[in-house]
Structures are given as structure tokens and as C-alpha cells.
Amino acid sequence: GAVVSQHPSRVICKSGTSVKIECRSLDFQATTMFWYRQFPKQSLMLMATSNEGSKATYEQGVEKDKFLINHASLTLSTLTVTSAHPEDSSFYICSARDAARGIRNTEAFFGQGTRLTVV
């Protein structure tokens, strides 16, 4: 099956620093990648939709200058949390669509997630 690799799985950073999270589709081309955030005991909340070669589309309430998304190739998208604060501590998950599977396929393939802790 399709594999999405997300790195790192865990990161602890100091308040005010920036953290980059990578999401790679290993065996398929991902024209669209999605970034989610999940707080404890809450559902996945879509942060942004990233299309290869174009600007990301951010959901309402998500600061695009704080959460920088780059989708420079069909196999890699990155999320950079800039000037991180303790309230940004969360579980960040990416997912990717396989371009070959057509419109009915949605982000069925998730990365392993990144547990971010800002101290």
C-alpha cells in the first residue's frame, strides 16, 4: 500500500524557535497534501491544503505566517511552525492523495504524525 513518511515523530523545542516537519510520499506522487493538528481528546482539525507548485490554502483561523507550508515537489511537503509557543504543542499529522487514484480517493494515507512540545 501507499506509504507516507513523516519526520520527525517527536520534537521538543524552546519557545520562540522554529520547527520544520517533513511529509514524504514514498511510492506515489502526491499532488495534494493535507496538514492536520490534533489536540488531546479532540478530532483532527484541518490546518491547510497544499498543492504541488502553488500556495497552500489555509483554513479559517490558521495563521499562514506562523505555519509555513511548502510543497515543492510531488513527493514532499513541509510544515514550519515559526516562533513556536507552548500553545502550539500538539500532534501534527500530514496526509497525501495519490494522483493516480482519481477524485474518489481522499487523504486515505496518513503520515505517522509529529508530537510537538514547546517548552
The residue from 15, 17, 42, 117 that contacts another protein (CB under 8 A) is 42
The pair phi, psi for residue 24, each rounded to 5°, is -125, 135
Cell numbers 519557545 label which residue? 15
Smallest CA-to-CA distance from 19 within 72, 64, 82, 90 is with 82
Candidate ranges 11-19, 62-70, 81-89, 111-119; the one touching another protein (CB under 8 A): 111-119
Binding another protein (rule: CB under 8 A), the pick from 35, 96, 107, 118 is: 107
Joined grid coordinates for residue 108? 486515505
Binding positions for another protein, 77-96, rule CB under 8 A: 91, 93
